[in-house]
Structures are given as C-alpha cells and as structure tokens.
Amino acid sequence: MFQKYRVHILVAAALTGIVLRFVAAMHGHNYDFESYLLVADIAEAGRNVYTETSRYNYGPAWFLILLLLRHLSYLFSDPAVAFRLLVVVVLTAADLAIMFYLLRHFGARAAVLFILNPVSILITGYHSQFDNLAIAIGLWAMAVYASGRASLDRKVMTAGLALLGLSLVVKHVLILLPVWLAIREDTFVRKGAALAVPVLILIISFLPFMDAWWDIRANVILYDSAENAPLLLYGLPPFLSFIPLRLWMFGGILLAGFAVKKRPLKEYVLLYSVVLVVFSMSVINHHLAVPMAAVAVWPNIFYVVYTILTTWMLSLDKLGLGIEALINISPPQLLFRHYGAMIFAVPVFILFLGLLKQVASWRKLTRRELPG
C-alpha cells in the first residue's frame, strides 16, 4: 500500500513539475534564448558558430542540439513557438533525469523536492539555461564510474569518465570534477585516467572547429560573465579581497576536493555544485539553480532561505519574470537595475552558510558514531 502511495506521489510531482516548467515558458524568454536562435541560424547555414558570434561560450554539443531542434521545429505550423518549446522539452527531460538519479540514490523526498523546487522551474522553463543537462549527465557518469570502481572493472570506469567528458562537451560546469576524482584515487594510473579522459574528450570535440581557435580561446576558455566573486568580495572580511579571483575559485574548489575525499561518489556532483557556486569568480542568475539538487538532498534552514530568496530574485527585473508587484516591494539591494551583479552576494552567502551547516551536521553524526 505504501509503495503504491509513494509511486502516486512521485508521478504527481513529476507531472506537476513538467506542467509548471511549460507554464513558465509561456511567460516569455530572455537574452539567452535569443542567443539560441542566433546560434541555431548560424549552425543551420553551415557556418562556424565560434567564428560568427561571441554569444556562444560552450562546447559544441549544445549548438548541435539546437540545430536538431531547429530542424524538428519545421515539422510544426509555428516553428518559432515549436523551437522554444522543444528547448524546454530537452531541459525538462534533464530535470527528470536528475529527479530519477535522486530517487535511486537518495530517496523519494529528495526527488520530489527537486522536481518541484521553483528555482529549477524558472531556470528551465523561463530562462532555459542548460546547466542542468550537463549536471544530469555528470550525475549518471558518477553512477557508472562508482559501479566500475566497486567491481574493479576498468572498462566501466572508463565509460563513466567518458560520460563525464560528454558533460563537459555540453557545458563545462563540472570542469574541475576530474581533479576531485584524481585526489580520491590511490594509484597514478587511476589519477591520470580521471584527469585525462574527460578533458581529452572535451578537447577532441573542438578539433573540427580549430580554424576558430582564437575565438574559442577568447569566448570559451577565457570567457567570464561577471567577475563579481560574491562571497569573496561582499561576504567575507575586506582584507581577503586581495586574493586573485581565479585563485579564489580554483583554490577553493581544490581544497574542497580534499575535504570530500571520503564522501561517497554518488554525492560528488552534488557537493561540487554547491562548492562551485560558493567559490565562483562569476555568479549570475542561472548559476543559482546549479546547487538545487544538493539542496533537495540535504535541506536545512539556510538552503530553504536560499531557495525562497533566489525564487524571489528570479521574479524581478532584468533577472527574470519582471513581476511588478514583487519589484515594487523588493529592497533595492535585490534589484539588478540598482546594484547589478552585486545582488548575488546575499544568496551566495546564505548558500555558504547552508554548506557550513551541512558539514557541521556530518561532523556531529560522525562523532555520535564513534565508540565510547
């Protein structure tokens, strides 16, 4: 009886989450989707996307997906609307893949909390950014890698690393996760494979477009959207602000890799997603959705506040829906029109507090498990 009830809840949550994402899509779109249209046009014309525009800052997988969706859109009476909705279909499928991963590895509560969280609904439905697609592939890549590691099957481990490489080709959200894997492994061969396989796949994916090397270098490798480093510049004591932004991000993520070395592999992408946003040198609106799967797995008071505040911010002016009633009652510190990228300092600091509370709860649990 309970199992049947549980299935009904999961199906209802999934269907509700899907509907809400399409409701958000009907509200309109923003600058990112206009970039998708531009990129699809360039790819459809057979031109090099990296040469033609600086508005594409990722590996080639996403523009190939956009090209496919563009061709599919012509099967409908209104290709423009169809293309918009097809993008949401792909991203909603990615959210469902994350939901099923959470269900399998962390239970029904985490799965339901994720698929119904308003931040992911707005980012998938309205903003239509595709970090979730890279994260979904990365999560299942770690499941494959962990399975191979447990059975000492090198082929399965390599398949997991190859999937992680595919995640990077979609979007390089998890670009430093191979470093975490290398830190965890105990032989030079495994360390080398963890570092080399995903990155080599990313590099190989660019080879057909190497005539645009300087554009790839400028708009993908060296691209930085905001350089606002919210936690460093606005959330910590001013004397720390001398730290170079790239050192702050890479150093923070690297140190975290040592801190999580003993955690289960199934948690790696989730932990990385929180650490990435906390230590990021650039945070803008859609980055706030990156840690939402982790928030669903380890909810605490700070993560709840983070979710509520982020939802509010994504309903405001240049960031999202532009709901005037909320704009009129919002403090100016949350409005992009007044404070620009500085507004992300508040949610990132709250996310940081949530991470600290999460780590503290783990340490407390560990002490309880010690004998005597």
Residue 159 pLDDT greater than 60, yes or no: yes
State phi, psi for 135 to the nearest 5 degrees: -70, -40
pLDDT in tens, 208-246: 999 999 999 999 988 877 678 888 887 777 777 788 888
* The two three-digit tokens of residue 94, written as one number: 């990615």
Question: Please, are residues 211 and 48 in contact by the beta-carbon 8 Å criterion?
Answer: yes
Angle formed by the axes of helices 268-279 and 177-184, to 10°? 130
Q: Check: CB of residue 127 under 8 Å from CB of residue 320.
A: yes
| Chain segment 174-211, per-residue pLDDT in tens | 999 999 999 999 999 999 999 999 999 999 999 999 99
Q: Helices in 280-344 by DSSP H: which ranges?
A: 292-297, 301-313, 324-329, 336-339
Determine the average pLDDT of the residues in 140-150: 97
Distance in angstroms (rounded) separating the CA atoms of residues 243 and 343:
21
Position 173 scores a pLDDT of 96
* Other CB atoms within 10 A of residue 169 CB: 23
pLDDT one-digit tens code per residue, 238-283: 777 788 888 889 999 999 999 999 999 999 999 999 999 999 988 8
Give the Cα separation of 105 and 97 in Å (integer): 12
Q: Where are the domains of the chain?
A: 2-369
Instruction: State the residue for tokens 């050192």.
Output: 247
Q: How far is CA 293 from the centre of its chain?
A: 9
Query: What amino acid is encoded at 102 in this protein?
Result: L
Q: 29-46 b/e with 16+ CB inside 10 Å = b?
A: bbebbebbbbbbbbbeee
